Amino acid sequence: MNIHWTPITQQDAEEIAGWKYPEPYNFYDMTADEEDLKLFINPEKRSPHTFSAHKDEELIGFLTVDLEKHPTVDLGLGIHPDETGKGEGGSFVQACLEFAAKRYVATAFTLSVATFNERAISVYERLGFKKKHTFTQATNGGHYEFLSMEK
């Protein structure tokens, strides 16, 4: 997948905040968690390590890199709802990994995914991520189980 990465613009952040996923993936709608939405929309609070992914000039996703445990980096990513379920997830995640490895000289990666999202977990496993542990996190007005994965 040929992706052009750029630091996220306010326009892109607002567009991503409006993305709506079908159930049960609507869990990932930015509007599902008011605190996360506020952090993502506010350019002063948003991570400076957040990038937009464009393919053929169209916004197709985003990536946020957390450097707290560098050279292991934690990834937060999302793909446009219209791009899900088409078999492109692996290519998108691989592009995220390559970008983060090059830009941040990362040697290992972590990410967290809701345990119900078997589709994403399968993609991550195909790309070499290993399941580490589950944990409960307060988000979206409730408490949900997440899986921590590492590559």
Instruction: Extract the tokens encoding 99.
Output: 């970008």
What are the structure tokens assigned to 21, written together?
Answer: 């996923």
- Evaluated on CA atoms 96, 99, 101, 104, the torsion sign reads negative
**Spatial contact of 96 and 83, defined as CB atoms under 8 Å apart:** no
Contact 72, 108 (CB under 8 A): yes
- From first CA to last CA, the distance across the chain in angstroms is 20
The pair phi, psi for residue 35, each rounded to 5°, is -65, -45
Per-residue pLDDT tens digits for 100-119? 999 999 999 999 999 999 99
pLDDT by residue (tens digit) across 55-82?
Answer: 999 999 999 999 999 999 999 999 999 9
pTM of the model: 0.93
pLDDT at 147 over 80: yes
Is there a cis peptide before residue 22, judged by omega within 30 degrees of 0?
Answer: no
Distance, C-alpha 15 to centroid of its chain = 15
| pLDDT tens string 13-37 | 999 999 999 999 999 999 999 999 9
**Which pLDDT score, from 0 to 100, does residue 139 have?**
86
- What SS3 class is residue 116? coil
